[in-house]
A = this chain, B = another copy of it.
Amino acid sequence: MTEIKFSGFGGQGIIMMGMLVGKAAALYDNRNAALTQSFGPEARGGACSAQLVISNDTVLYPYVTTPDILVAMSQEAYTRFEPTLKADGVLLLEENLVRPHPVEGRRRQYAIPATRIAEELGNRMFTNMVMLGFLCAVTQVVPLAALVSALRDTVPERLVEKNLAALERGHQAGVAQLAGASLSA
C-alpha cells in the first residue's frame, strides 16, 4: 500500500494530480485507489490537499496519516505536512515556492521549479502536470504510460498535447535528477 499526500494552494491543480494518479493506478495498472479531500477551516485560506491511497487490494481506510510520498507545492503545505512524512518517505517540492530545512535521516527529497517550467511551456496551468511527471520518474508509483492514459481520459481533447508535453518535461527532469544522484553517490 502506498499513501500519497498532495498539498499546495487552490489553483495549482492539487486535486487533479491525485485524481490522475488514482485513475492511472486503478484503470491502467490493475490496482485500487481512493482519493479523499477534507474540508476544514484551513481550506478558507486557500490551502488545498488531497490524499491518495493505492493498494493491490480494496482500500478499506482512505485516510492518509503518515504518507510514503508528500508533494508540497507551497511553504504552508510543507510546514504543515512535512512532519507527518514517513522516516523513509519521499518528499517532492516546488523548488521556488518551498524553502526546506536540511534533509533528515533516510528521507529522500527532490525539488523542481514546476511553475517556472510550466510558464516556459506557455501556461502556469500546466504546473501540476510538470510535478506529476517528476513524481512519476522519481517514485515510480505508477508507470508513465498509465499516467498518460489517465490524462487522455480526463483532459479535454484540445488540451491533451500541451498537458502531455508538461508531463514529459517533468518526467525528464526527474530522470535527470535520479541519474545525477546516482553519479554523485
Interfacial residues, chain A to chain B (CB-CB below 8 A): 10, 15, 19, 22-23, 25-27, 32-41, 43-44, 59, 61-63, 153-154
Contacts and interface: CB of A to CB of B under 8 A. Distances in A.
8 contacts: A22-B39, A23-B43, A26-B38, A26-B43, A27-B39, A34-B37, A35-B37, A38-B59
Given A62-B62, A63-B62, A39 B44 contact: no
A36 B39 contact: no
Number of copies of this chain in the oligomer? 2
A111 to B, nearest CB: 28
The 9 closest A-B pairs by CB, nearest first: A26-B39, A22-B39, A33-B39, A35-B37, A34-B38, A36-B36, A27-B44, A23-B39, A26-B40
Given A62-B62, A62-B63, A40 B32 contact: yes
